[in-house]
Chains A and B, each alone.
Chain A
Amino acid sequence: PVHQLLLAELPDTHQLLRQTCRDFADRELNPIAAKLDKEHVYPAKQIQELGAMGVMAIEVPEELGGAGMDYLAYSLAMEEISRGCASTGVVVSVNNSLYIGPVLKFGSEEQKREWITPFTTGEKVGCFALSEPGNGSDAGAASTTARQDGDEWVLNGTKAWITNSWDASATVVFATTDKSLKHKGISAFLVPMPHPGLSLGKKEDKLGIKASSTANIILEDCRVPLGNMLGPRGAGFKIAMQTLDSGRIGIAAQALGIAQASLDCAADYAHKRTAFGSPIGKLQAIQFKLADMAVAVESARLLTWKASLLRDAKKPFTKEAAMAKLAASEAATYCSHQAIQVLGGMGYVADMPAERHYRDARITEIYEGTSEIQRLVIAGQLLKEYQS
């Protein structure tokens, strides 16, 4: 039961999973994270190793090539991976939640075998194309079109800010078959990459998570078979929203990893750095910062676990997932900001990881639903509760 879990300990399996992912992050990701960030290099080898461990498809049943574990396991894995390297974390999250997620939930058995199984090993990753240059938060205003031509769908339009785009072998694309129906006209489509009619924009030069690729996806008379529609016609908006509900938990966990890494960095420094004759950890100003950081991380973590457990129990979790993402992303920006403050000048240079955590943290308040959207989601759910 949820309350026992949160008050006591994680189950043995989940403790072992957490430890395994932490060991992987410590030994394989942490030593190269600065280099990946500096050189903007996609961690292909590490993604393959994570694939071999089952981390690229945690929720996918074993028959389809996945690990057959639950969302709590996913949250734990995501936090530990991101603590080592936030870029690697987002690659893992997008593949698990945003690409595999909707196919697992809305795909036919045949679509699952074709579009999920090859993406469980780490050799191939997928991406999620919803946002456009003209609309991010306003997802219902999608202007990418899909028109039927014989036994094919023809897609036209531009998608923006697509994580994994340059490294992906497939994408879930949201396009409208009838703009007059507004959000009810949107459907989801599966498109392989590369594919005729699909091209990529330049890689964005981002502030953080630099080892993951972000770019526009341009569709110009991009043709796919009719069987590539995912889920029912007109269900695209619903599919996107439900997918993002779950994706939010993954990003919350990524933010937790960044926040925890920042806290680790600051606390370690507080032991070692001396000023006025003693380690700075003895100073109340530093102690207050560390305490506030720890509270921010732990409370966001419990929210993330709660959202995961509710989802695993097949109970409504929309509000809790939004709360988790909001809390965790704000914890990440807060903790990374304070970590630089604790480190002083050392926090501002690349010799220490604090500046990278600061840059990596910032996006967590924006993607997969801005903090503002999260607040709207939470308020919406809350007001419904108070109505009854």
Chain B
Amino acid sequence: MSGRVLVGVKRVIDYAVKIRVKPDNSSVVTDGVKHSMNPFCEIAVEEAVKLKEKKLIKEVVAVSCGPQQAQETIRTALAMGADRGIHVEVTGKDYETLGPLQVSKIMAALAKKEDAQLVILGKQAIDDDCNQTGQMTAALLDWPQGTFASEVSFDGDKIKVVREIDGGLETIKIKTPAVVTADLRLNTPRYATLPNIMKAKKKKIANVKPADLGVDLTSRLEVVRVDEPPQRQAGVKVETVDDLVGKLKEAGTV
């Protein structure tokens, strides 16, 4: 086994930012808005670095797809302990339409090229909430997948994944190589330490184009319109339970 883990890290609008829709309803405003690493990707990086610290794997490679700024996100991963980075350059219209289908093709190609033992991704990104990239990557590679992981451990030549599902927790064992997606409770990501921030400067970030990986970025989706959620309306007070039931029936919800 190569002992190499690929971790996908996505640059998204920071979770604390108040999102605004562009006046033409084409997308959200991103210019001048604070961006950070997707929180679930942080958890994925943390898990990979922990596995390396436990000496269960040998190398953590952070991958990000996007324009120049994606390198900032890779550098954050390096400062958390990843060994090297791969920046897959995607710009302009291609970047606007970049989605799970394209990214999973890229991740699959890189997983093969890098002879990865494990691909760890965040379960979803907080901007599009797609929750598809991990699953698609596994399908394209024909690898097993352990999604919504709240616990990951090595069990011989298999990986034991405890998954958070609607009914509770499900434990599965999957053979490697495999794809795992990180859920909220998998770990608490570390803050980069200052010495690691300095060390990250010396770590390499390779530049790759999707065409080099034989990936076609054409999107199958077209975003027609983006709207803000409807303004919250004031509530209505009622005097009795009967009134309440009456109102609910009127609204057709009961």
Q: Are A53 and B198 in contact (CB under 8 A)?
A: no
Q: Are A20 and B198 in contact (CB under 8 A)?
A: no
List chain B residues, Cβ under 8 A from A62.
195
Q: Are B193 and A53 in contact (CB under 8 A)?
A: yes
List chain A residues, Cβ under 8 A from B204.
none
Q: If the complex has contacts A13-B201, A26-B16, are A20 and B192 also in contact, measured as CB distance less than 8 A? A: yes
List chain B residues, Cβ under 8 A from A53.
191-194
List chain A residues, Cβ under 8 A from B194.
17, 53-55, 58, 67-69, 73, 77
Q: Are A12 and B192 in contact (CB under 8 A)?
A: no
A54 interface neighbour in B16, B193, B200, Cβ under 8 Å: B193
Residue of B nearest to A14 (CB): B197
Taking CB atoms and an 8 Å cut-off, the chain B residues in 178-195 that contact chain A are 191-195
Q: Are B200 and A49 in contact (CB under 8 A)?
A: no
Q: Any chain A CB within 8 A of the CB of B76?
A: yes
Q: Any chain B CB within 8 A of the CB of A23?
A: yes
- A24-B193 Cα distance, complex, nearest whole Å: 11
Q: Are B195 and A24 in contact (CB under 8 A)?
A: no
- A68-B198 Cα distance, complex, nearest whole Å: 8
**Majority SS of interface residues in chain A?**
helix
Q: Are B79 and A12 in contact (CB under 8 A)?
A: no
Q: Any chain A CB within 8 A of the CB of B11?
A: no
Q: Are B76 and A16 in contact (CB under 8 A)?
A: yes
List chain A residues, Cβ under 8 A from B76.
16, 19
Q: Any chain A CB within 8 A of the CB of B105?
A: no
Q: Any chain A CB within 8 A of the CB of B4?
A: no
Q: If the complex has contacts A54-B193, A55-B194, are A12 and B16 also in contact, measured as CB distance less than 8 A? A: no
- A52-B75 Cα distance, complex, nearest whole Å: 20
Q: Are A49 and B191 in contact (CB under 8 A)?
A: yes
List chain B residues, Cβ under 8 A from A52.
193
List chain B residues, Cβ under 8 A from A55.
194
Per-residue B-contact encoding for A1-33, CB less than 8 Å = 1, 0 else:
000000000001101110110011010000000
- Name the distance in Å between A239's Cβ and chain B's nearest Cβ: 26
- Name the distance in Å between A262's Cβ and chain B's nearest Cβ: 19
- A67-B192 Cα distance, complex, nearest whole Å: 12
List chain A residues, Cβ under 8 A from B200.
13, 16
- A68-B199 Cα distance, complex, nearest whole Å: 11
List chain B residues, Cβ under 8 A from A24.
191
Residue of B nearest to A22 (CB): B34
- Name the distance in Å between A283's Cβ and chain B's nearest Cβ: 22
Q: If the complex has contacts A26-B16, A68-B198, are A16 and B191 also in contact, measured as CB distance less than 8 A? A: no
- Name the distance in Å between B17's Cβ and chain A's nearest Cβ: 12
- A31-B16 Cα distance, complex, nearest whole Å: 13
Q: Are A67 and B195 in contact (CB under 8 A)?
A: yes
Taking CB atoms and an 8 Å cut-off, the chain A residues in 30-69 that contact chain B are 49, 52-55, 58, 62, 67-69
Q: Are B197 and A17 in contact (CB under 8 A)?
A: yes
- Name the distance in Å between B183's Cβ and chain A's nearest Cβ: 19
List chain B residues, Cβ under 8 A from A68.
194-195, 198
Q: What are 17 A-B pairs at a CB distance below 8 A?
A: A12-B75, A13-B198, A16-B72, A19-B36, A20-B191, A23-B36, A23-B191, A24-B191, A26-B16, A49-B191, A53-B193, A62-B195, A67-B193, A67-B194, A68-B194, A69-B194, A69-B198
A-contacting residues of B (Cβ < 8 Å)?
A: 16, 36, 72, 75-76, 79, 191-195, 197-198, 200-201
B-contacting residues of A (Cβ < 8 Å)?
A: 12-13, 15-17, 19-20, 23-24, 26, 49, 52-55, 58, 62, 67-69, 73, 77
Beyond the given pairs A12-B201, A54-B194, 6 more chain A to chain B contacts, judged by CB atoms under 8 angstroms and listed by A's residue number, are A12-B75, A13-B197, A13-B198, A16-B197, A53-B192, A69-B198
